[in-house]
Chains A and B, each alone.
Chain A
Amino acid sequence: MSALLELHGLEVEIEGLPILRGVDLEVRPGEILGVVGETGAGKSMTARSILDLLPAKARLSFDTCTFGGEDFIPARARQLARGHRIGFVPQRPRGSLNPVFRVGKQIVDTLRRLRGMTRKEAKDEALSLLRSVRITDPERVYRSYPHELSGGMCQRVCIAIALAGEPELIIADEPTTGLDVTIQAEILKLLGEVIAEHNAAGMLITHDLGVVADVCDRVAVMYAGRVINLGTTVEIYREALHPYANQLVSIASSLDSGGTPQEIPGRVPNPGDDLAACAFAPRCFRAEDDCFQEEPPLVHIEGQMAFCHHPLTSEVVSA
């Protein structure tokens, strides 16, 4: 299957600090790719690079990048793709809506800009978008200001705006973080449904492995500015190749089942820290000398890829 979005060797540097150190990933048509990692792993920066939302001081480089089969330059996404071919659902829905304009106007403006609609067409389309995100009284929401709506409702509005340009890819950055559990479940379900209904693909950035298991088809696990393990959700949760991904999943599942979690010693490195050849080596229970000295190789096994000298699989161990 050819990828919708394919990125190789994405690097981002901010004031001399390496934030992304060669990110490789692909999003396939129709799938939802989860991007997980801890603070500072580079999840949001990866999304922001694709959306051309990096801070002004950031310097970006990459080896190859294609979107829909064509070359795509992340740093010029503003005119080409953002909003139009790539929709964005933000982390803080209320904060990303303009507080002084009614919700309806904000959707209408987006539609007129992206799709060149007349005012009348845009209003009809805005109401139908609000209905498509399961808002039962679209007329009222259309006339409301953001502060008159609940957090869950604001996020529905943001999803409607993300859909306005009929995007092929929707990137959602921690879309449910500030929301209550019961609302979170509804928003995730909605996001999955609208992505399918619009024949789009999704990229969901989160730190919550429960959320990933719930909605994602494949997962990319990031650590210290790289994707270190990528595979189908089922494979990654069954037996992730990379020891870091493996332990992360096992902590989450042992907490969930009431068991005692393993401990990963140490802490996540900060950008600019001196890193071993494999950034995880100092915390890894499988690390040997080669992990500190040589770049970890890319291994492909059963629907997964990982950068690791000593991946967790019987085949490689016995080889």
Chain B
Amino acid sequence: MTGPTDTLALRDLTKIFRIKTGTFRHADLRAVDDVSVSITPGRTLAVVGESGSGKTTLARLILRLIDPTQGSIRLEGTDITQMKGAALEDMRGRMQIVFQDPYDSLSPWQTVGRTVAEPLLLHENMSRQDATGPVAAMLERVGLSPEHARRYPHELSGGQAQRVGIARAMITNPALVVLDEPTSSLDMSVQSQILLLLQSLQEERNISYLFISHDLTVVRYIAHDLAVMYLGKVVESGPAAEVFASPRHPYTEALLKAAPRPDPHYKTDHVHLLGEQPSALDRAPGCPLFGRCPIAEDVCADMPQELVEIEAGHRVACWKRT
């Protein structure tokens, strides 16, 4: 499943948060549970799931902003799971992130030029003078003008601010960029501009994207591969076109059918998952969907099912569908 050429390879990655539930009591929240995925250069892996599925925790683990409980993270073949200090700082230039809210993620006190230069100063020990040239070129590349370097975030529109966020992420020429809902706070007409920009940058630089989203319309457009998460677990993964065309896990099926599509002749199917997503605290050992799943049987309650390959690259964790 993972090869030496992968930009990113996760193996059995797990993050357990201890939550205080009383004076002497704790409960375990398995925010990310045994996740193994990989991305090859120039491809986009979309991680989709609803709130509480662990998508954002996964991104924070990969970027080494928090430490995993178990498992390993390899970036371009190097194990970065335990990396610390200066070595990690150098590695950060290879992996960057674009955030959901472009205004929140830019410092209101810094000019655009300073913000975009920062990764060069930090990770490549460049001087501010030396950074001016690359910053101007990067701003032009993302569709802004070099004059924008002197502006402050509040002078920018949402789309322009997101272009700055993209410029900052791309300036160190990273191998991996995590895109955390990069278009969900933007208007439709601007959304398509940003998606086109991300795509052309990927083609030009062979970057790998980890695209986190709950918006299946955007994912359908941009993703090569797809991993569907539910309560911290990847329940289905594979080539995006294949998963969209023939989803196998009942949760994926529900998610795809429930998503409204811009076609008045298409009626969304209101799928029959029972109730709402339960708390991830102290989950039962079986399938995370047990209790909501319309096709569950006894085995689903007690035995966790691993991801099983049912077709080339298409994996499903379901007792009934494998």
Contact = CB atoms under 8 A, between A and B. Distances in A.
Interface string B205-223: 0000000001011101100
Contact of B260 (A214, A259, A263): A214
Contact of A185 (B190, B193, B258): B258
Contact of A182 (B195, B254, B264): B254
Interface stretch (A14-22, A93-101, A248-256): A248-256
B262 interface: yes
Contacts of B266: 213-214
Find the residue from A207, A237, A256, A261 having the highest chain B CB count within 10 A: A256
29 contacts: A39-B158, A39-B187, A180-B214, A180-B276, A180-B277, A181-B216, A181-B255, A181-B259, A182-B271, A184-B258, A189-B270, A207-B188, A210-B262, A213-B262, A214-B260, A214-B268, A251-B188, A255-B192, A256-B220, A256-B221, A256-B261, A261-B195, A261-B221, A262-B192, A263-B196, A264-B189, A267-B157, A267-B190, A268-B190
Interface of B: 50-51, 157-160, 187-193, 195-196, 214, 216-218, 220-221, 241, 254-255, 257-268, 270-271, 273, 276-277
A185 B271 contact: yes
A280 to B, nearest CB: 10
Given A213-B262, A213-B264, A258 B192 contact: no
A263 B193 contact: yes
B192 A264 contact: yes
A38 interface: yes
Contact of A255 (B51, B187, B220): B220
A247 interface: yes
Contact of A251 (B51, B192, B277): B192
A213 B264 CA distance: 4
A188 interface: yes
Interface of A: 38-39, 150, 152-153, 180-186, 188-189, 207-214, 233-234, 237, 247-249, 251-264, 267-268, 283
A214 B187 contact: no
A38 B187 contact: yes
B132 to A, nearest CB: 27
A259 B196 CA distance: 11
A256 B50 contact: no
B192 to A, nearest CB: 4
Given A181-B258, A208-B260, A150 B276 contact: yes
B194 to A, nearest CB: 10
A249 B187 contact: no
Contacts of B259: 181, 185, 210
A209 B50 contact: no
Contact of B189 (A212, A248, A253, A256): A248
Given A181-B50, A189-B270, A255-B217, A213 B188 contact: no
A260 B196 contact: yes
Nearest to A212: B262
A208 B270 CA distance: 18
A234 B262 contact: no
B220 to A, nearest CB: 5
A254 B218 CA distance: 10
Find the residue from B221, B260, B270, B277 having the highest chain A CB count within 10 A: B260
A145 B263 CA distance: 38
A259 to B, nearest CB: 8
B112 to A, nearest CB: 17
B189 A180 contact: no
A237 B261 CA distance: 11
Nearest to A247: B189
Contacts of A185: 257-260, 268, 270-271
A263 B159 CA distance: 13
Contacts of B189: 38, 247-248, 251, 264, 267-268, 283
A207 B158 CA distance: 16
A258 B221 contact: yes
Find the residue from A38, A255, A264 having the highest chain B CB count within 10 A: A255
B188 A209 contact: yes
Nearest to A265: B193
A181 B218 CA distance: 14
Contact of B263 (A182, A183, A237, A263): A237
Contacts of B159: 267
Contacts of B193: 263-264
B182 to A, nearest CB: 14
A281 B217 CA distance: 28
Given A213-B261, A214-B266, 10 more contacts: A180-B276, A184-B260, A189-B270, A209-B188, A233-B264, A237-B263, A247-B189, A255-B217, A256-B262, A264-B193
B260 A210 contact: yes
Contacts of B264: 213, 233-234, 237
A312 to B, nearest CB: 17
A208 B192 CA distance: 14
Find the residue from B195, B217, B271 having the highest chain A CB count within 10 A: B217
Contacts of B190: 267-268
A208 B268 CA distance: 14
A92 to B, nearest CB: 14
The 8 residue pairs across chains A and B that have the minimum distance between CB atoms: A210-B260, A38-B187, A185-B258, A180-B50, A252-B262, A261-B192, A264-B189, A209-B262
A237 B68 CA distance: 47
